Each structure stands twice: as C-alpha cells, then as structure tokens.
Amino acid sequence: MAEFVKIYENNPNAREIAKVVDVLKKGGLVIYPTDTVYGLGCDITNTKALEKIAKLKGVKLEKANFSFICNDLSHLSEYVKQIDSATFRILKNSLPGPYTFILPGSKNLPKAFKKKKTVGIRIPDNTIIRSLVAALGNPIISTSIRDDDDVLEYTTDPELIFEKWQHKVDVVIDGGFGDNEASTIIDLTDEPTVIREGKGSIEIL
C-alpha cells in the first residue's frame, strides 16, 4: 500500500523530499502536485518503473507520450537539441509555468525514449515537484491522473486520489488541493503551434 506524505509547497520538508526521492531511485511510482493537475511519475532512467506506468495507463511504453518534468532550463538542455533564440525566449518567459513544450529530443534521451524524435518538457511552478527533481538529479516522467467521472476530468483532492491509487503506486504526496485544468501544450519543433489550450495563456507566443 502507498505511503501518504504531506509536503507543504511554500516550504517543502527536506526529509520528506529525501524519503520520496529514495522511493523514486528504487523504481517506485509517485503521485505528486504540479501547478496544474496532480501527476503520476517515476525516474525517467528506470525502464521497469516506466513500463509499470505505461501498463497503468493502458499503453505500450514505446507509444506513450509522457512529459519530462525538469527542474530548470539548464536541466532541460540535456534532453533537447540546441534551440534557437526565439524558442529560448518563449521558454524563458513562460517557465516555470503551466505549459508542456514539445521540443526536438537530443541523443541524451534515456534508453526507453531513444526512438522518439520529440519530447514534451514541463517545468511546473510548484516547489514540491521541482525539489523532487532537483534532489533526484533526473527528470521525472509525468502523466496526469484522469478521473473516471464524466463531469470532473481530474481529481483535485489528494485524499480522494490516495483512496483510488493507494494499491497501484508507492507514494501519494498531499501538496494541497490541485487544479482541474491541465497544462497548455505548445509544439515548438517548427512554427509555434498550440496543441491543447489549458491553464497557460497562449499570449506568450
């Protein structure tokens, strides 16, 4: 059964962060808050953990479109090809924030993603998830937790999330109520193209 861990966003407890990072390093699955909806993730370098998430989502790992959560822009540069100054300006002006940017993937992508030409990158405006990524030293895979409810697409209450997911994951972080609007997805591989309008304003383009 999963552990339910309370972490405060305005002052994440280093001991609790270290405990969750230890779970991630051992291949555990973690549900965490972002600046949009709650996400499900694992260490991107752990193929077994990635396969578990793909199975939970009902997709094959090689077909899965998971986003990478990075800690900052320099962290992001390891996994994407060199970007031009116009693209960098968009990223710098909008991150951390409620966006997923699709960018050309570099040769440094982990084994499970080697065949991917593009990668979705997130740097959420949430200190809990960014502290986890910084302490882990690798990006965390991100896929949002959808709800079976037709009215509410995303569960916002961490206690309800724990109730539903406690036997499928290793840790559920209670970082307070989440949002029920997902990130805005923008493809920056060519001309900036909005794939999905969500919480982030498209006026950044």
Residue by residue, DSSP assigns 73-102 as HHHHTTTB----HHHHHHHHHH-SSSEEEE
> What whole-number distance in Å separates Cα of residue 187 and Cα of residue 30?
27
Percent of the residues in the chain that have a pLDDT greater than 90, as a whole number: 75
Percent of the residues in the chain that have a pLDDT greater than 70, as a whole number: 96
| Domain boundaries, position 60 | 3-204
The DSSP 8-state label assigned to residue 15 in this structure reads: H
Q: For the chain, how many structural domains are there in total?
A: 1
Sheet holding 193-196, edge to edge: 3-6, 171-174, 30-32, 39-41, 140-144, 67-69, 118-122, 99-104, 184-187, 193-196
Question: Within a 10 A sphere around the Cβ of 166, how many other Cβ atoms?
Answer: 15
> Tell me: the pLDDT tens digits for 132-184?
999 999 999 999 887 655 555 678 899 999 999 999 999 999 999 998 899 99
> What whole-number distance in Å separates Cα of residue 77 and Cα of residue 68?
12
> Tell me: the pLDDT tens digits for 72-115?
998 888 889 988 999 999 999 999 999 999 999 998 888 888 88
> What whole-number distance in Å separates Cα of residue 187 and Cα of residue 138?
23
| β 67-69/118-122 pair status | parallel
Kindly report the CATH number assigned to the domain that includes residue 149. 3.90.870.10
Split at pLDDT 50, 70, 90, the class of 188 is: very high
